[in-house]
Chains A and B, each alone.
Chain A
Amino acid sequence: MDQNAAGKTFPPYEFRVERGKIREFADAIGDPNPVYRDLEAARKAGFPGIPAPLTLLRTFLYETPDSKNALGVKDWSYIVHGEQEFEYLAPIVAGDVLTAQDRIVSVTEKESRRAGKLQIGVIETRFVNQRGETVQIARRTLVETGQRISE
């Protein structure tokens, strides 16, 4: 990985959180909770609309490869997705238009007894809604190992 990539920011991208996508995602994780399907149930649970499942926004991190590319990885078969973190600052509901911006937080090196030299890149994405409120921050940790791994 490119140690100099730390601190780089990337052009923002915009997307709409769609009700059908929320339902599809809830179905895919086997979650029958009516708040993802029924506006009345969502309102009764205190949401202004159909709420996004907790890990839904990981879906939109595939929108642009720019930040991943900037890590300067030569062979992605040496990369594992080590960790995924979310901070929830305000509710996200169907119909919201979110603007996301990626930043490479850090690129560090670590010696692992088991896997040799590891390089660890952390990409942070901030999501801001149509009212200018930061609603969620996602951080993914990508680990480059000295050996090929299949995940």
Chain B
Amino acid sequence: MASFDSLKIGDQPAPLVCGPLTRTDFVRYAGASHDFNPNHHDEVYAKAGGNKAVFGMGMLAGGYCTRLLTDWLGLGSLKRLRIRFASRFWPGDVLTCTARVTGKRADGGQRLVDCEFSAVDQDGEVVIRGDATAALM
């Protein structure tokens, strides 16, 4: 896991590639997260609403990004996290999660690292973006 001194602004962990995603991935997350919006599991409903298929939950893409962050910075070090939802993703998509250090600072005796992250599909479209702060040793 990264330490405060070892990180520089602009540093990135190795990207995390998730997929090709399946309907089963969406359904598994629906059960685990209690997100039963039918757009995510009911193809008939989703198509009636004008969608080409069911689509994934933004929070699932967010979950993939948290895996990248916790492997990189440590689960216990995260102080805040914000996920902004940008576009939909579909069965068959491959999401690539990346992160980057955007700042380092001291605050009240804590040594903080700010970073931004995103999940992008195979066509380069941003699915979610976000930012997080970790307190590191």
Question: Which residues on A are within 8 Å of B, measured CB to CB?
Answer: 21, 24-25, 27-31, 33, 35, 45-47, 51, 53-55, 58-60, 62, 77, 80-88, 91, 150-151
> Across the A-B interface, how many residue pairs have beta carbons closer than 8 Å?
109
Cβ of B71: which chain A residues have Cβ within 8 Å of it?
A: 33
Number of B residues near A (Cβ < 8 Å) is 38
> A117–B53 Cα gap in the complex (Å)?
29
Cβ of B66: which chain A residues have Cβ within 8 Å of it?
A: 29, 31, 53-55
| Closest partner residue, chain B, to A63 (CB atom) | B34
Are the C-beta atoms of A54 and B70 separated by less than 8 Å?
A: yes
Are the C-beta atoms of A28 and B85 separated by less than 8 Å?
A: no
CB distance from B57 to the nearest CB of A (A): 9
Cβ of A85: which chain B residues have Cβ within 8 Å of it?
A: 80-83
Cβ of B83: which chain A residues have Cβ within 8 Å of it?
A: 55, 83-85
> A142–B68 Cα gap in the complex (Å)?
26
Are the C-beta atoms of B75 and A54 separated by less than 8 Å?
A: yes
| Closest partner residue, chain B, to A46 (CB atom) | B76
Given contacts A24-B31, A35-B75, A62-B34, 5 further A-B contacts (CB under 8 A): A25-B63, A29-B32, A60-B34, A62-B35, A88-B79
| Closest partner residue, chain A, to B79 (CB atom) | A88
Interface centre among B18, B29, B64 (most CB of A within 10 A): B29
Cβ of A33: which chain B residues have Cβ within 8 Å of it?
A: 67, 70-71, 75
Q: Would you mind naming 16 contact pairs between A and B with Cβ atoms under 8 Å apart?
A: A21-B32, A28-B32, A28-B63, A30-B64, A31-B66, A51-B76, A53-B66, A54-B69, A55-B83, A81-B58, A84-B59, A85-B81, A150-B39, A151-B55, A151-B58, A151-B85
